[in-house]
Amino acid sequence: MTSQLLNRATHRRPARPELPFLGDLSLSLGRAHELCGPARRTLAAMIAARSQGPVFWIAPAWQAERLNPEGLCHLVEPGRVTFLDPLRGEDLLWCMEEVLRAGAVPLVVLDLPGTPGLTPVRRLHLAAETGREISGAWPLGLILTPGAGGAQGIESRWQMTGDHGAEGRRAWRLDRLRARTAPRQSWHVTPRNGQLQLTPAPDFIP
């Protein structure tokens, strides 16, 4: 009787697909990522613009700052976005978890007033995996947190701040603060000829 030797490659899972969103930057699908900084909602809209299909945007009903659909027009079609406004704080993460688990929505954005704990973030990852098994598609979760963020267990953390210039010139600074397979790095994001251009920023501040 012959025996087959098993190695790591034999049981290796297929490569997880990614969503390119700016230049050669991309996000692993089927996972939850954190966006922080003053321009985190703008970054979420930029990512939504590169996705396909509906977007669910979850935010507290009591939150004073409301996303203006008309402000999305230059980035993403507002008709693609469905806004969900839970009345209770405990329903925010639960709502995102349920949407990811259903697997019917490619992109789910959760605008949180604070930083979630490790256990809820792990539940989001598991819910996204379940959604993939149910629908065959890979849902993507974006957690928006104030300040410099700091959620535990997230796949990656990105910070975006405004870097606008004179005469209405719009620009941003994007910092990759954490990623499982990539180092910290910074970029300048500027609109040019109807596209968003990404250039390295050498002055990264950790």
CATH class of 21-157: alpha beta
Handedness of CA 115, 117, 122, 127 (dihedral sign): negative
The more confident residue out of 75 and 28 is 28
* Percentage of the chain lying above the pLDDT 70 cut: 90
Confidence of residue 143 (pLDDT cuts 50, 70, 90): very high
The more confident residue out of 150 and 14 is 150
pLDDT over 70 (residue 2)? no
Burial (CB < 10 A; 0-12, 13-18, 19+), residue 51, is middle
Instruction: Name the pTM for this structure.
Output: 0.89
> For residue 11, what pLDDT is reported?
43
> For residue 3, what pLDDT is reported?
47
Average pLDDT, integer, range 62-74: 79
For the stretch 92-124, pLDDT in tens is 999 999 999 999 999 999 999 999 999 999 999
Distance (Å) of CA 26 to CA 17, 61, 88? 10, 31, 33
